[in-house]
Amino acid sequence: MPPDAAVHEPHVSDPMPSWLPVLLIGMVVALVVGLGGYLFLQAGLHRSAPTLEQATRTGAAAVGQAVAGQFAHALALGIPLAELPGVEPYLRRIAENSPQVEGMALLDADGRTISSTMQGTEGTRFPISAGGTRATLVVAPETPLIDRAMRRVWIALAATALLAGAVAGGLVAFVTRLHQEPAQRRFLADMRGIADGIFAVQPSGVYRGPLADAARALAQCVEGVRAARRNLVEAAATIRAIDFDGSLGRRVDVILQPIDRRYAFPETDDDASARTQGSSVAWRLALLFGLYAAAFPYVANFAIDREPEGIAAAWAPVLPLLAELAAACLGALAGATRAGRNGGALLAFALLFGVCVGATYWCRDYGVFIALRCGAGLSAGFVAAALLCRYRLDIRPRELATLLIFAALFAAPLLAGLYGEAIGRRSGFLLLGIVTVVAAPFIAVGMGASENGATARAASRFGRGDVLLGMAVLPAAAMILVELPIGVGFDDYLSGGGAIALLAAAALAAPALSPLACAAAMLAAAAVLHLPVPYPGVSVFAACALLGLAAGGMFKQIVDAANRPWIAIAVGVAGGLALIGALRHAELPFAYLAAAAALVVIAVNLAGRHRPATAGAA
């Protein structure tokens, strides 16, 4: 390389941090969606509030007249109101069972309170007169009924705005990381190669914008140089053809040899082209994982409602998930073979995935539900493994894991919670199945055949890092798949999906943590769930954040040192499902599972300090 080669070193300035446009676009989209929804809701409330208020007052008046008539009947029978038994429980029961009524009070003729369901009851007065005795029933009408429902609507609107902003920001971030930054790295590598005398240009992978224009201009310049070299080689061949004594050939060699030593003209890099094509597979994987995980808030609570015969209630929500996990692993093994390279098989399994999910709408039997979930797991595992093993992705493993976690555990559960609240659980399965069938061609079709698949890692035993990673995933998986769907998310799908999204957000934001720090986070989650707190719902969300912090921190710390990280994650999920089933059977709280996993992490970490480090140890 010449001494002045550094002069040709390209310099690319970065005028703003890479996270700034992501943050700005996410905030703008969230504000636009939130503001638009707020204005629509306010307009609807403005038009409907008078009618609703009138309906509430009419309903409260009807209740008041009926109750006043009952007291008048008692007075007509000669029973003094002060001696009438059970007046306050009667009024309280009426108020609780009448959504139009907030409170009720019974007053004597002098205005003194005989009985009341709340302090300072004010509202419509209904006179009671019979048997020469007078009294008054006061009915406080409830605020318009829509106020109660609107609380959930406002929460749903906030979740929608958050989801829209997060998805928009995530798309910008991942487009930048998956397309712009790799294309920029390839362009800079080409520039450095040309400065070193290597005239080869890799496919940029982008088709618009300044970077694409610069890459095309560079390719045209390189093609001009390559054409000049071809002309020179052809001219030299012509000279050698008419050179009978070799003198001209020696003179030509004097000209060509310095050029050949200084400059290189490699052939087209087909492998780089395959990697560029394979980059789009990351988006297909994200869509596949998102569609698959969108059913997480529904599966366990749907299984409970099937009322299986001969199976303990504690295991009812767990068995379909265990069977589905086993089927997904079998599908992944099949997809990693030569069968996964068949485009027709890939499309067939993608369609089967959608059919199995959508058919749950008509499912009434527990056994059929398990069969449908096994079909969904088998087909999704086949498609995912086929895509991963068919192409060499031009994306770092951690970036791919971040994309899949964002799609599967943040965006999908929030979206599932929103449409679950809107159309219900069974219709949610049907909608999810229809979307999957429509998306199947995009997932499975349009990819050229490629033998540049990811190669398997060298076979090695399960190491300490694998055990630690599996233990960190174990309580998080049990929380996502079982505890939330049959707990806070059983009737409130939005809360269940929001809790899963919170766990995923904590995992994505978590820094790399030591095993002891992750164990401390899991113990804190167990304490939050086990100790009495004023607001139990808050403790569940706090525990989700702590478990996400532990799982994400352990993954970022251990994944590079683990021998078989994906197998460790699968084993952790299976262990979490089995243990939560056993805990439910023994009627023990979920906190015990998180505490047990934390203790195993501490024990494995301490044991690893007393033995020599081995390959694959963290």
Domain co-membership, 370 together with 413: yes
What single string gives the DSSP state of each residue in 488-524? TTTT-HHHHHHHHHHHHHHHHHPPP--HHHHHHHHHH
What single string gives the DSSP state of each residue in 386-454? HHHHHS--SS-HHHHHHHHHIIIIIIHHHHHHHHHHHH-HHHHHHHHHHHHHHHHHHHHSSPPP---PP
Average pLDDT over residues 577-603: 90
Whether pLDDT at 389 is above 70: yes
The DSSP call for residue 616 is: T
Domain co-membership, 55 together with 147: yes
Domain co-membership, 345 together with 465: no
Per-chain mean pLDDT for the chain: 77
User: Does 343 fall in a domain?
Assistant: yes
Q: CA 445, CA 439: separation in Å to the nearest integer?
A: 10
Domain co-membership, 321 together with 301: yes
Q: Which of 18-22, 184-188, 301-305, 398-402 has the highest mean pLDDT?
A: 301-305
User: Does 7 fall in a domain?
Assistant: no
Q: Which one of 190, 207, 227 terminates a domain? A: 190
**What is the reported pLDDT for 179?**
63
Higher-confidence residue of 389 and 428: namely 428
User: Does 147 fall in a domain?
Assistant: yes
The CATH number for 78's domain is 3.30.450
User: Does 296 fall in a domain?
Assistant: yes
Higher-confidence residue of 548 and 43: namely 548
pLDDT band for position 18 (50/70/90)? low
Q: Closest by alpha carbon to 595, among 528, 506, 538, 536?
A: 528
Give the count of domains, the chain: 4
User: Does 2 fall in a domain?
Assistant: no
User: Does 421 fall in a domain?
Assistant: yes
pLDDT exceeding 90 applies to what percent of the chain? 18
Domain co-membership, 25 together with 95: yes
Q: CA 410, CA 165: separation in Å to the nearest integer?
A: 12
Q: Which of 75-79, 130-134, 355-359, 392-396 has the lowest mean pLDDT?
A: 392-396
Looking at residue 70, its amino acid is Q
Average pLDDT over residues 526-540: 76
User: Does 169 fall in a domain?
Assistant: yes
**What is the reported pLDDT for 393?**
62
Average pLDDT over residues 190-211: 64
Q: Which of 106-110, 539-543, 599-603 has the lowest mean pLDDT?
A: 106-110
The CATH number for 321's domain is 1.20.1250.20
Q: Which of 99-103, 164-168, 192-196, 489-493 has the highest mean pLDDT?
A: 489-493
Q: CA 125, CA 615: separation in Å to the nearest integer?
A: 83
Q: Which one of 220, 247, 268 terminates a domain? A: 268
Q: Closest by alpha carbon to 580, among 506, 512, 486?
A: 486
Whether pLDDT at 500 is above 80: yes
pTM here?
0.69
**What is the reported pLDDT for 263?**
65
**What is the reported pLDDT for 274?**
46
Domain co-membership, 105 together with 212: no
Domain co-membership, 154 together with 211: no
Domain co-membership, 388 together with 513: no
Q: Classify 149 as helix, strand or coil.
A: helix
Q: CA 487, CA 540: separation in Å to the nearest integer?
A: 9
List Cα–Cα distances, 379 to 222, 338, 476, in angstroms. 46, 16, 24
Domain co-membership, 434 together with 468: no
Q: Closest by alpha carbon to 599, among 613, 585, 579?
A: 579
Domain co-membership, 260 together with 283: no
**What is the reported pLDDT for 382?**
93
Q: Which one of 268, 295, 327 terminates a domain? A: 268
**What is the reported pLDDT for 460?**
55
Domain co-membership, 162 together with 294: no
Domain co-membership, 399 together with 545: no
Q: CA 495, CA 504: separation in Å to the nearest integer?
A: 14
User: Does 8 fall in a domain?
Assistant: no
Structural domain for 28, as ranges: 16-190
**What is the reported pLDDT for 182?**
67
Q: CA 487, CA 479: separation in Å to the nearest integer?
A: 10
